[in-house]
Amino acid sequence: MINQKARTKKVRIIGAPLDLGAGHRGVDMGPSAFRVAEIHLAVRALGIAVEDFGDIEAQVAETRDPGNPRLKYLKEIRAMCVTLRNVVAKTMDEGVIPVVLGGDHSIAMGTIAGVARHFRRRREKAGLVWFDAHADANTEHTSPTGNIHGMPMAVCLGLGAKDLLSIYDAKGPMIDGERAAIIGLRSVDMLERANVAQVGIGAFTMRHLDERGMRSVMEAAIQRAMNGAAGIHVSIDLDAVDPEEAPGVGTPSPGGIGYREMHLAMEMLADTNRVSSVELVEVNPVLDRANQTAKLGVELLCSLLGKKIL
């Protein structure tokens, strides 16, 4: 069913084929997988205008030295995130919803920096709802791998290496922890736990979902994200979903969010009419089955943009 409010929306697809932040190769093919899954047709079927920016240029690991083992490929990741920041901010300034297709989750530093810049210029704040099996709250001091895709949530909320924090061209964090929530946690590094507490994000683990149900968790998450915020950025790592439903991810973790639970979360976010920007990350076609994970991502995006059953 087409949501009549959707007719006023316009979406811009932005590919961010970065895989330098992860330990497993292949997520650079994520944007292509979403396009093969007919993301454009699916969104247009909702009555939403869609345009495609194409892909932001990303460096290839084989042509670069990883550099600092605590912050691998820092220079290359930072450069792409700065470009992505500029594209996202310009897109939102034009009244268009950016839908960023990753790539690994380190791109969130660029996406959210752009979202924050847009709202800062309007003297407004952004909220954040982040779906992930992992907290992504490591720093160069706590990360067991030095892979930057395990750091973006911390950076976006103001914690981490100076070179990463400076992707946002203003003082303070991109998003305030009191206006942010992460949902689906089930794999958090021991040293990372203190970082999660420090940034002040509302952290909802699978135990919270098991005990309270998705509706209650989403009500709490949305309340946080809408706390004085003009818009909500939604960041979806497909590994938040159970691997049976989303096998094509680099770091799968069993016992994840179910198919209908995830759609309910998207539908509840759509009901707020505050979703201002979206990113879908960590789809690895090399590990997928018949593009199942990208197809699921497209379905979730449609629910987030207002698709309804009746």
Q: How far apart are CA 112 and CA 266, in angstroms?
A: 19
The yes-or-no answer on residue 105 being catalytic is yes
Which residue among 136, 140, 176, 242 is the active-site one?
136
pTM: 0.96
Residue 24 annotated in active site: no
Check if 136 is active-site. yes
282 is catalytic: yes
Note whether residue 134 is domain-resident: yes
Query: Is-catalytic flag, 237?
Result: yes
Residue tagged active-site, from 134, 208, 233, 263: 134
Catalytic residue among 140, 192, 239, 288: 239
**Does any domain span residue 208?**
yes
Asked whether residue 144 is assigned to any structural domain, the reply reads yes
Question: For 218-249, what is each residue's pLDDT tens digit?
Answer: 999 999 999 999 999 999 999 999 999 999 99
Residue 7 confidence (pLDDT): 52
Question: What is the residue range of 236's domain?
Answer: 4-304
CATH number at residue 230: 3.40.800.10
**Residue of 149, 208, 233, 263 marked active site:** 149
**Active-site annotation holder among 76, 192, 282, 288:** 282
Domain presence at residue 224 = yes
Max distance between CA atoms of the chain, in angstroms, equals: 53
**Could you report the per-residue pLDDT of 145-181, keeping only the tens digit for each?**
999 999 999 999 999 999 999 999 999 999 999 999 9
Q: How many domains does the chain have?
A: 1
Residue 309 placed within a domain: no
Please confirm, yes or no, whether 134 is among the known catalytic residues: yes
Name the active-site residue from 104, 237, 242, 288. Answer: 237
pLDDT digits (tens, 9 = 90+) for 32-57: 999 999 999 999 999 999 999 999 99
The reply to whether 310 falls in a domain is: no
